Structure 1
Protein backbone atom coordinates (compact mmCIF):
# COMPACT_ATOMS: atom_id res chain seq x y z
CA UNK A 1 0.00 0.00 0.00
CA UNK A 2 1.41 3.39 -0.82
CA UNK A 3 1.80 6.18 1.65
CA UNK A 4 -1.00 8.31 0.18
CA UNK A 5 -3.55 5.48 0.23
CA UNK A 6 -3.58 4.96 4.02
CA UNK A 7 -4.15 7.98 6.28
CA UNK A 8 -2.36 6.35 9.23
CA UNK A 9 0.69 5.62 7.08
CA UNK A 10 0.58 9.08 5.48
CA UNK A 11 1.39 10.62 8.85
CA UNK A 12 4.13 8.12 9.71
CA UNK A 13 7.48 9.57 10.71
CA UNK A 14 10.87 7.98 11.32
CA UNK A 15 14.06 8.89 13.10
CA UNK A 16 17.55 7.39 13.25
CA UNK A 17 19.76 7.49 16.34
CA UNK A 18 23.13 6.13 17.35
CA UNK A 19 23.53 3.17 19.70
CA UNK A 20 26.48 1.09 20.84
CA UNK A 21 25.87 -1.26 17.89
CA UNK A 22 25.30 1.41 15.24
CA UNK A 23 22.40 3.47 13.94
CA UNK A 24 18.95 2.20 14.84
CA UNK A 25 15.64 3.67 13.78
CA UNK A 26 12.07 4.06 14.90
CA UNK A 27 8.98 4.76 12.79
CA UNK A 28 5.70 5.81 14.36
CA UNK A 29 2.27 7.27 13.72
CA UNK A 30 -0.58 8.41 15.96
CA UNK A 31 -1.49 4.78 16.75
CA UNK A 32 1.98 3.87 18.05
CA UNK A 33 5.29 2.43 16.98
CA UNK A 34 5.14 1.21 13.36
CA UNK A 35 8.62 -0.27 13.04
CA UNK A 36 11.96 -0.72 14.76
CA UNK A 37 15.02 -0.91 12.56
CA UNK A 38 18.21 -2.47 13.86
CA UNK A 39 21.42 -1.44 12.05
CA UNK A 40 21.98 -2.56 8.50
CA UNK A 41 25.37 -2.68 6.73
CA UNK A 42 25.53 1.13 6.72
CA UNK A 43 23.60 4.11 8.09
CA UNK A 44 22.28 4.83 4.59
CA UNK A 45 21.00 1.25 4.28
CA UNK A 46 19.35 1.50 7.71
CA UNK A 47 17.63 4.76 6.79
CA UNK A 48 16.58 3.48 3.37
CA UNK A 49 15.07 0.29 4.74
CA UNK A 50 13.22 2.05 7.54
CA UNK A 51 11.84 4.79 5.30
CA UNK A 52 10.82 2.33 2.59
CA UNK A 53 9.17 -0.31 4.77
CA UNK A 54 7.42 2.11 7.11
CA UNK A 55 6.39 4.44 4.23
CA UNK A 56 7.41 7.25 6.55
CA UNK A 57 9.18 10.58 6.30
CA UNK A 58 12.10 11.81 8.41
CA UNK A 59 11.48 13.73 11.63
CA UNK A 60 13.63 15.14 14.42
CA UNK A 61 10.52 16.05 16.45
CA UNK A 62 9.96 12.99 18.61
CA UNK A 63 6.81 12.49 20.67
CA UNK A 64 7.64 11.75 24.33
CA UNK A 65 6.86 8.02 24.04
CA UNK A 66 9.11 7.63 20.99
CA UNK A 67 11.89 9.59 22.69
CA UNK A 68 11.52 7.26 25.68
CA UNK A 69 11.71 4.19 23.42
CA UNK A 70 14.89 5.58 21.84
CA UNK A 71 16.45 6.10 25.28
CA UNK A 72 15.55 2.56 26.32
CA UNK A 73 17.06 1.10 23.14
CA UNK A 74 20.29 3.02 23.74
CA UNK A 75 20.37 1.69 27.32
CA UNK A 76 19.68 -1.86 26.14
CA UNK A 77 22.57 -1.85 23.67
CA UNK A 78 24.79 -0.34 26.38
CA UNK A 79 24.06 -3.50 28.40
CA UNK A 80 21.40 -2.23 30.82
CA UNK A 81 18.49 -4.50 31.72
CA UNK A 82 15.63 -2.85 29.87
CA UNK A 83 11.92 -3.54 29.54
CA UNK A 84 9.87 -2.60 26.48
CA UNK A 85 6.56 -4.30 27.38
CA UNK A 86 4.66 -1.02 27.76
CA UNK A 87 5.66 0.52 24.41
CA UNK A 88 2.52 1.17 22.34
CA UNK A 89 2.57 -0.59 18.95
CA UNK A 90 0.49 0.11 15.86
CA UNK A 91 -0.89 -3.40 15.36
CA UNK A 92 -3.31 -2.42 12.58
CA UNK A 93 -1.53 -4.57 9.99
CA UNK A 94 -1.34 -7.70 12.12
CA UNK A 95 -4.01 -10.41 12.03
CA UNK A 96 -5.58 -11.67 15.25
CA UNK A 97 -3.28 -14.70 15.56
CA UNK A 98 -0.16 -12.57 15.11
CA UNK A 99 -1.41 -10.03 17.67
CA UNK A 100 -1.82 -12.85 20.18
CA UNK A 101 1.66 -14.20 19.41
CA UNK A 102 3.28 -10.78 19.86
CA UNK A 103 1.34 -10.11 23.09
CA UNK A 104 2.47 -13.43 24.57
CA UNK A 105 6.06 -12.94 23.47
CA UNK A 106 6.20 -9.49 25.07
CA UNK A 107 5.78 -11.27 28.43
CA UNK A 108 9.17 -12.98 27.95
CA UNK A 109 11.51 -10.66 29.83
CA UNK A 110 15.18 -9.78 29.86
CA UNK A 111 17.43 -12.82 29.99
CA UNK A 112 14.57 -15.27 29.47
CA UNK A 113 14.01 -17.45 26.43
CA UNK A 114 11.17 -19.54 25.09
CA UNK A 115 10.60 -21.78 22.08
CA UNK A 116 8.20 -21.66 19.17
CA UNK A 117 6.44 -24.72 20.59
CA UNK A 118 6.18 -23.27 24.10
CA UNK A 119 4.61 -20.10 22.69
CA UNK A 120 2.16 -22.21 20.71
CA UNK A 121 1.14 -24.11 23.86
CA UNK A 122 0.69 -20.87 25.84
CA UNK A 123 -1.63 -19.67 23.07
CA UNK A 124 -3.61 -22.92 23.28
CA UNK A 125 -2.52 -23.89 19.77
CA UNK A 126 0.15 -26.58 20.22
CA UNK A 127 0.42 -27.25 16.48
CA UNK A 128 1.16 -23.63 15.58
CA UNK A 129 4.96 -23.55 16.06
CA UNK A 130 5.59 -22.97 12.34
CA UNK A 131 2.99 -20.20 12.18
CA UNK A 132 4.70 -18.59 15.16
CA UNK A 133 8.03 -18.85 13.34
CA UNK A 134 6.44 -17.08 10.38
CA UNK A 135 5.15 -14.30 12.66
CA UNK A 136 8.65 -13.91 14.13
CA UNK A 137 10.15 -13.59 10.65
CA UNK A 138 7.75 -10.72 9.86
CA UNK A 139 8.09 -8.96 13.22
CA UNK A 140 8.43 -5.22 12.50
CA UNK A 141 9.52 -4.49 16.10
CA UNK A 142 12.63 -6.57 16.83
CA UNK A 143 13.73 -6.03 20.42
CA UNK A 144 10.39 -4.43 21.41
CA UNK A 145 8.61 -7.68 20.49
CA UNK A 146 11.64 -9.78 21.53
CA UNK A 147 11.78 -12.39 18.78
CA UNK A 148 15.49 -12.84 19.57
CA UNK A 149 14.35 -14.65 22.73
CA UNK A 150 12.58 -17.40 20.75
CA UNK A 151 14.70 -20.51 20.26
CA UNK A 152 14.27 -23.74 18.36
CA UNK A 153 12.84 -26.70 20.32
CA UNK A 154 16.35 -28.11 20.68
CA UNK A 155 17.49 -24.94 22.46
CA UNK A 156 19.54 -23.91 19.42
CA UNK A 157 19.54 -20.30 18.26
CA UNK A 158 17.27 -20.73 15.25
CA UNK A 159 16.81 -17.97 12.69
CA UNK A 160 16.74 -14.19 12.98
CA UNK A 161 15.70 -11.84 10.21
CA UNK A 162 17.71 -8.75 11.27
CA UNK A 163 20.99 -7.89 9.55
CA UNK A 164 23.65 -10.31 10.76
CA UNK A 165 21.08 -13.07 11.27
CA UNK A 166 21.87 -15.72 13.86
CA UNK A 167 25.12 -14.04 14.96
CA UNK A 168 23.19 -10.90 15.86
CA UNK A 169 20.58 -12.95 17.73
CA UNK A 170 23.31 -14.75 19.66
CA UNK A 171 24.95 -11.48 20.65
CA UNK A 172 21.65 -10.01 21.82
CA UNK A 173 21.10 -13.11 23.96
CA UNK A 174 24.65 -12.85 25.31
CA UNK A 175 24.05 -9.19 26.12
CA UNK A 176 21.15 -10.42 28.27
CA UNK A 177 23.35 -13.22 29.63
CA UNK A 178 21.01 -15.79 28.07
CA UNK A 179 23.25 -17.56 25.57
CA UNK A 180 21.30 -20.37 23.95
CA UNK A 181 23.42 -23.10 22.46
CA UNK A 182 27.01 -21.98 23.11
CA UNK A 183 27.98 -23.02 19.59
CA UNK A 184 31.18 -21.85 17.95
CA UNK A 185 31.28 -18.25 16.67
CA UNK A 186 29.45 -17.57 13.43
CA UNK A 187 29.72 -14.86 10.78
CA UNK A 188 29.92 -11.32 12.12
CA UNK A 189 26.73 -9.66 13.28
CA UNK A 190 25.78 -6.21 14.53
CA UNK A 191 28.13 -6.37 17.49
CA UNK A 192 31.25 -7.31 15.52
Structure 2
Protein backbone atom coordinates (compact mmCIF):
# COMPACT_ATOMS: atom_id res chain seq x y z
CA UNK A 1 0.00 0.00 0.00
CA UNK A 2 1.46 3.41 -0.96
CA UNK A 3 2.22 5.91 1.78
CA UNK A 4 -0.32 8.76 2.22
CA UNK A 5 1.78 11.31 0.27
CA UNK A 6 2.22 8.85 -2.62
CA UNK A 7 -1.50 8.05 -2.56
CA UNK A 8 -2.31 11.79 -2.69
CA UNK A 9 0.02 12.20 -5.69
CA UNK A 10 -1.64 9.26 -7.45
CA UNK A 11 -5.10 10.71 -6.82
CA UNK A 12 -4.04 14.15 -8.08
CA UNK A 13 -2.64 12.62 -11.29
CA UNK A 14 -5.78 10.52 -11.77
CA UNK A 15 -7.96 13.61 -11.35
CA UNK A 16 -5.82 15.53 -13.84
CA UNK A 17 -6.01 12.74 -16.43
CA UNK A 18 -9.79 12.44 -15.91
CA UNK A 19 -10.18 16.16 -16.60
CA UNK A 20 -11.38 16.87 -13.07
CA UNK A 21 -8.67 19.39 -12.16
CA UNK A 22 -9.23 22.95 -13.33
CA UNK A 23 -6.20 24.22 -11.42
CA UNK A 24 -2.80 22.92 -10.47
CA UNK A 25 -3.22 23.19 -6.68
CA UNK A 26 -3.31 19.43 -6.10
CA UNK A 27 -0.19 18.79 -8.13
CA UNK A 28 1.61 21.77 -6.63
CA UNK A 29 0.95 20.30 -3.18
CA UNK A 30 2.95 17.18 -4.10
CA UNK A 31 6.41 17.45 -2.53
CA UNK A 32 9.23 16.40 -4.83
CA UNK A 33 12.67 15.18 -3.82
CA UNK A 34 14.88 17.08 -6.24
CA UNK A 35 18.04 16.64 -4.18
CA UNK A 36 19.69 14.68 -7.01
CA UNK A 37 18.50 17.07 -9.75
CA UNK A 38 20.97 19.71 -11.02
CA UNK A 39 20.10 23.34 -10.22
CA UNK A 40 19.32 24.33 -13.83
CA UNK A 41 16.80 21.50 -14.16
CA UNK A 42 15.23 22.43 -10.79
CA UNK A 43 14.75 25.97 -12.07
CA UNK A 44 13.15 24.66 -15.27
CA UNK A 45 10.88 22.39 -13.19
CA UNK A 46 9.83 25.30 -10.97
CA UNK A 47 8.75 27.41 -13.93
CA UNK A 48 7.05 24.44 -15.58
CA UNK A 49 5.08 23.65 -12.41
CA UNK A 50 3.83 27.23 -12.46
CA UNK A 51 2.18 26.93 -15.88
CA UNK A 52 -1.58 27.01 -15.22
CA UNK A 53 -3.80 24.12 -16.30
CA UNK A 54 -4.96 24.70 -19.88
CA UNK A 55 -2.08 27.03 -20.75
CA UNK A 56 1.33 26.55 -22.34
CA UNK A 57 4.75 28.13 -22.62
CA UNK A 58 7.45 27.49 -25.19
CA UNK A 59 10.95 26.23 -24.44
CA UNK A 60 12.13 29.71 -25.42
CA UNK A 61 9.67 31.35 -22.99
CA UNK A 62 11.10 29.32 -20.14
CA UNK A 63 14.66 30.14 -21.20
CA UNK A 64 13.78 33.84 -21.18
CA UNK A 65 12.21 33.57 -17.72
CA UNK A 66 15.47 32.04 -16.56
CA UNK A 67 17.34 35.01 -18.02
CA UNK A 68 18.97 32.71 -20.60
CA UNK A 69 17.34 33.75 -23.87
CA UNK A 70 19.46 31.39 -26.00
CA UNK A 71 18.91 28.30 -23.85
CA UNK A 72 15.71 26.89 -25.40
CA UNK A 73 17.50 23.68 -26.39
CA UNK A 74 18.87 23.22 -22.85
CA UNK A 75 15.35 23.76 -21.48
CA UNK A 76 14.12 21.10 -23.91
CA UNK A 77 16.74 18.68 -22.64
CA UNK A 78 15.74 19.41 -19.04
CA UNK A 79 12.08 18.80 -19.89
CA UNK A 80 12.99 15.62 -21.78
CA UNK A 81 14.63 14.15 -18.69
CA UNK A 82 11.83 15.22 -16.32
CA UNK A 83 11.36 12.34 -13.86
CA UNK A 84 8.21 13.86 -12.34
CA UNK A 85 5.72 14.05 -15.23
CA UNK A 86 2.88 14.99 -15.03
CA UNK A 87 3.49 16.53 -11.59
CA UNK A 88 6.01 18.72 -13.41
CA UNK A 89 3.73 19.21 -16.44
CA UNK A 90 6.27 19.18 -19.27
CA UNK A 91 3.37 18.49 -21.64
CA UNK A 92 2.50 22.20 -21.22
CA UNK A 93 5.78 23.19 -22.90
CA UNK A 94 5.74 23.54 -26.67
CA UNK A 95 8.27 24.21 -29.38
CA UNK A 96 8.61 27.44 -31.30
CA UNK A 97 5.38 28.44 -33.00
CA UNK A 98 3.33 26.26 -30.65
CA UNK A 99 4.51 22.96 -32.11
CA UNK A 100 3.91 19.94 -29.82
CA UNK A 101 7.46 18.61 -30.00
CA UNK A 102 9.78 16.96 -27.55
CA UNK A 103 7.46 14.69 -25.61
CA UNK A 104 9.14 11.43 -24.64
CA UNK A 105 6.14 9.64 -23.11
CA UNK A 106 4.38 6.81 -24.93
CA UNK A 107 2.55 8.27 -27.91
CA UNK A 108 4.85 11.29 -28.22
CA UNK A 109 3.27 14.51 -29.50
CA UNK A 110 -0.16 12.88 -29.82
CA UNK A 111 -0.17 12.15 -26.09
CA UNK A 112 0.96 15.71 -25.37
CA UNK A 113 -1.95 17.06 -27.43
CA UNK A 114 -4.43 14.75 -25.69
CA UNK A 115 -3.26 15.91 -22.26
CA UNK A 116 -3.55 19.54 -23.34
CA UNK A 117 -7.06 18.95 -24.70
CA UNK A 118 -8.15 17.32 -21.42
CA UNK A 119 -6.78 20.27 -19.48
CA UNK A 120 -8.32 22.83 -21.84
CA UNK A 121 -11.76 21.29 -21.30
CA UNK A 122 -11.20 21.07 -17.53
CA UNK A 123 -10.30 24.75 -17.41
CA UNK A 124 -13.52 25.65 -19.24
CA UNK A 125 -12.11 26.46 -22.64
CA UNK A 126 -14.30 25.93 -25.66
CA UNK A 127 -13.13 23.90 -28.64
CA UNK A 128 -12.60 27.11 -30.65
CA UNK A 129 -10.40 28.50 -27.87
CA UNK A 130 -8.31 25.34 -27.82
CA UNK A 131 -7.09 26.07 -31.35
CA UNK A 132 -5.30 29.17 -30.09
CA UNK A 133 -3.82 27.26 -27.17
CA UNK A 134 -1.98 24.79 -29.39
State the 1:86 CA deviation. Answer: 2.2
Higher strand proportion: 1
Alignment match, 1:68: 8
Selected match of 1:167 from 106, 110, 125: 110
Q: How does 1:1-192 map to 2 (within 5 A)?
A: 60=1, 62-81=2-21, 82-83=23-24, 84-177=27-120, 178=130, 180-181=133-134
Alignment match, 1:47: none
Tell me which of the two structures has the higher relative contact order, counting C-alpha pairs closer than 8 angstroms and 6 or more residues apart: 2
SS at match of 2:96: coil
Give unpaired runs (5+ residues) of structure 2. Answer: 121-129
Give unpaired runs (5+ residues) of structure 1. Answer: 1-59, 182-192
Higher helix proportion: 2
Deviant stretches of 4+, over 3 Å: 178-181
- The number of residue pairs the alignment matches comes to 121
TM-score (norm 1): 0.60
State the 1:75 CA deviation. Answer: 1.1
Bigger-Rg structure (1/2): 1
Structure 1: how far apart are the matches of 2:41 and 2:69? 15
Structure 2: how far apart are the matches of 1:66 and 1:109? 22
